[in-house]
Chains A and B, each alone.
Chain A
Amino acid sequence: MNLTANLNATAILAVVVAAACVADQPPRPEDLRGTSYAQPMQKPDFTLRTTDGDSFDFRTETDGVVTLLFFGYTSCPDICPIHMGNIAAVLRTLPPDVSRRVKVVMVTTDPERDTPERFGAWLKNFDPSFVGLIGPLAEVNEIQIQLNLPPANRYGDDDRSYTVGHSARVIAFTADNRAHVSYPFGTRQNDWAHDLPLLVKPNWEAN
């Protein structure tokens, strides 16, 4: 082996080692396009009913799984369907080893009008795997307070046509059962496509 070949081999080895180091490094919140939390957010402890009527213990059912949590309602014609539509569209384009490891959970902030049938059918427009949860608004607001989100609020007196103010943020829990980032309305499909493969990396617990 001459000197040039030796140098080449060393250079290749260095590149390989560097690549391995990068691959093994836990993703950092600052590499993501979501908004970083100053302190990672603990997973809230709650149990609500799915649109199929099953009991859903959030911590147990999402343990170790990347989980996007959103609070919204079906009579919301702009923010809610756009968030869900964007996430669903991106999940369809990602490799199965990424998309399979992402769970999307939406909790209704309008349990009065969002019956299991209505909410279930609404979610199926986007992705049949999305989980819809229903519970009393007071309970849902307790969960939001645990997550540092403002409680949802009804606006308007008419029992049929009122609107609901709610947080437009999607909270992303990683395999360490904590949230390091959240996503505001205005998050684009290319932001989700960039971040979801990083969020499913297994070594978040190293942070």
Chain B
Amino acid sequence: MTIREIGQLVMVLLIGCGDPEASNTRQPAADAAGLEIYDAYAPAPAAPDVGSLYFTVVNRGSTADTLTAIETSAGGSATLHDMIHEGGLTRMHPTGPMPITPHDSLRLAPGGYHVMLSDLSRQPRVGDTITVVLSFARAGAIEFDAPVLMYTDVVRLLGDYGGSER
């Protein structure tokens, strides 16, 4: 086994540890009607009016649910975005309502799904907390807090990237 292979194995194990599906010992940031919220972080925006937000929704129930709207205490709008990679270009794209099937999860992480925060009323700083309300078609509203951290700390905590150009 080469060093690189060992590295890859360690990475796989670390990613495994970070997967809320694989860990039943972690406390969710919030839960309702079979939906659990984990890994909620907001990097301190570098721009005064534009930021992002990450979290993971795990559906432990037996019915599908759909994330229909996002509101935050940061003001402005919050939109779930996917990242599209085509022809060497990377761009964000609003997903619209996002279904989460039973025993599946929606994971937001750098380079993949993320919430884009626009028209922020105030630039959040490291140490602040953003209150997030997710609206689901079945479960209704789920509220939780996302600490505001440095971008590099968010990357470290989420352990891997949600996607990357190949």
Residues of A at under 8 Å CB distance from B?
74-79, 81-82, 84-86, 89, 118, 121-122, 125-126, 149-150, 152-153, 155, 161, 163-169, 184-186, 189
Closest to B53 in A: A77
Contact present for A86 and B152 (CB under 8 Å): yes
User: B84-130: which residues lie under 8 A (CB-CB) from chain A?
Assistant: 84-85, 87-93, 110-111, 114, 116-118
Contact present for B50 and A78 (CB under 8 Å): no
Contact present for A75 and B50 (CB under 8 Å): yes
Is residue B20 within 8 Å, beta carbon to beta carbon, of the partner chain?
no
Q: A78-B111, A122-B46, A125-B46 are in contact. Are A161 and B118 (CB under 8 A)?
A: yes
Closest to B51 in A: A77
Residues in A with CB closer than 8 Å to B91 are 153, 155, 163-166
Closest to A121 in B: B48
Which stretch of B57-65, B132-140, B158-166 is in the interface?
B158-166
C-alpha gap A153/B88 in the complex (Å) = 11
Residues in B with CB closer than 8 Å to A82 are 110-111, 151, 155
Is residue B52 within 8 Å, beta carbon to beta carbon, of the partner chain?
yes
Closest to B165 in A: A184
Q: A78-B52, A185-B161 are in contact. Are A118 and B47 (CB under 8 A)?
A: yes
